[in-house]
Structure 1
Amino acid sequence: MTSPNAAQVPTIKSALKFFKVTSYITGIFLILIMVLWAIRLIWSADVWIGGPDGLIALAQFSVDPSTGEKVGLPGPQIPNDFTTVSLIIHGWLYVAYLFGDFRLWTLLRWSFLRFLVIALGGVIPFLSFFTERYYSKVAEADLKKVA
C-alpha cells in the first residue's frame, strides 16, 4: 500500500467525516430493522404508521396458509408498514455507506479485503459501529504519516 498524497488530505478528511456519519446512521437503522423483525416474529405484529388505530400502532396479523399473505392488517401494507419503510430507507442509507467506504478505499489505497470488511458493516448488526471506530483510527493514522 502506498500512502496518500499530501494534497488529498482535505478530501480524505471530508470522506472520513462522511463515512463516520453514514456508519452510525446505517447502523442505527439496521438495529431498528432487527427490533421490528423481532416484533414481527414474537408478537405477529407490524408497526403501523397513520392507520385507523392512531399515528403509530402495533397491528396484529396472521398468515393465510393457502396464499402466504398477511391477514388482519388495517390497510394496504406498502404505504403504512414501518418495517417496509425502514427497509427501504436502510437500503438507500447502505448505498451512501458503501459510497463512503469506496471513497476511503480509493483515497487511502487500502486493500480490497478492507473494503469488503467495511461493506459488511452495513448488513451485520452492530458491525458498522466497530468498523467505523477501527477504520477511522486507521485512516487518521495514515493521514498522520502524510502530515
Structure 2
Amino acid sequence: MPSGPRPSDVPRIRKVLAVYRVSAIVTGVFLLLLCAMMVLRYGLGVDIELGGAFGFLALQPRELIRAVDLSTGILIAHGWLYVLYLGCDFLMWRMLRFSFRRFLLIALGGIVPGLSFYFEFRVPRYVEERLAEAHATAVPAEAGATA
C-alpha cells in the first residue's frame, strides 16, 4: 500500500485536523472531569448534583439526587466526545495512511488523562510534516509529467 496522503485529500485532511484539535482539547477536559467524578463517586461515595435543594452544585449520595445528575452527564458527554475524537483519528489514519500502531497510540489520548493535550500539540505537527513530504514528492512528479 502506498504511503502518505493523496494530493486530493489535503483539503479534507486540514478540515479533519481542525476538528481533531478541538475534539482533543474538549475530550481531554471531559476526561479530567470524569477522573474527578470517579474519585468522588468511588472514593467518597457521592455524585455531583446540579440545581438541587442544596444549591447550584452539591455533592450528594447517588440515591439522594433529585435534580440533574451531573456525574452521569459528564460520563455520557465524555463517551460521545471520545467517539468524535476517535472518528477524527480514524479519518486521519485513512487519509494520511500512517501505521495502525500510530492510530492506536493517538486513540489512547481519550483514555489516558492528559495525553490528548500532548497529542493536540504533536499530531498537527506530524500531519503538517507528512503533508509537506507529500507536496515535495508531488511537485517533481508533476514537473516530470509536463516535460
TM-score range, shorter chain: 0.7 to 0.9
**Is the CA contact (8 Å cut-off) linking 2:4 and 2:98 kept in structure 1?**
no
Alignment partner, residue 13 of structure 2: 12
CA RMSD, 1 decimal: 1.7
Residues 123-138 of structure 1 mapped to structure 2, 5 A cutoff? 123-138=111-126
**Is the CA contact (8 Å cut-off) linking 1:6 and 1:146 kept in structure 2?**
yes
TM-score normalised to structure 1 length = 0.83
1:23 & 1:141 partners in 2: Cα distance? 19
Alignment partner, residue 105 of structure 2: 117
2:89 & 2:65 partners in 1: Cα distance? 40
Residue-pair matches, total? 134
2:65 & 2:21 partners in 1: Cα distance? 39
Give the fraction of aligned pairs with identical amino acids, expressed as a percent.
Answer: 40
Corresponding residue to 1:89 among 74, 77, 92: 77
1:55-91 CA distances to partner (integer Å, 9 max, x unpaired)?
22122x3xxxxxxxx55x243xxx6221111000111
Alignment partner, residue 145 of structure 2: none
1:27 & 1:49 partners in 2: Cα distance? 22
1:119 & 1:4 partners in 2: Cα distance? 20
Gaps of 5+ in 1: 62-69
User: If you compute each CA radius of gyration, which structure gives the higher value, 1 or 2?
Assistant: 2
Alignment partner, residue 146 of structure 1: 134
Instruction: Using the TM superposition, give the Cα deviation of residue 30 of structure 1 relative to its aligned residue in structure 2, in angstroms.
Output: 0.1
Alignment partner, residue 67 of structure 1: none
Gaps of 5+ in 2: 136-147
Alignment partner, residue 95 of structure 2: 107
Once structures 1 and 2 are overlaid, which stretch shifts more, 37-46 or 1-10?
A: 37-46
Q: Secondary structure at the match of 2:124?
A: helix
TM-score normalised to structure 2 length = 0.83
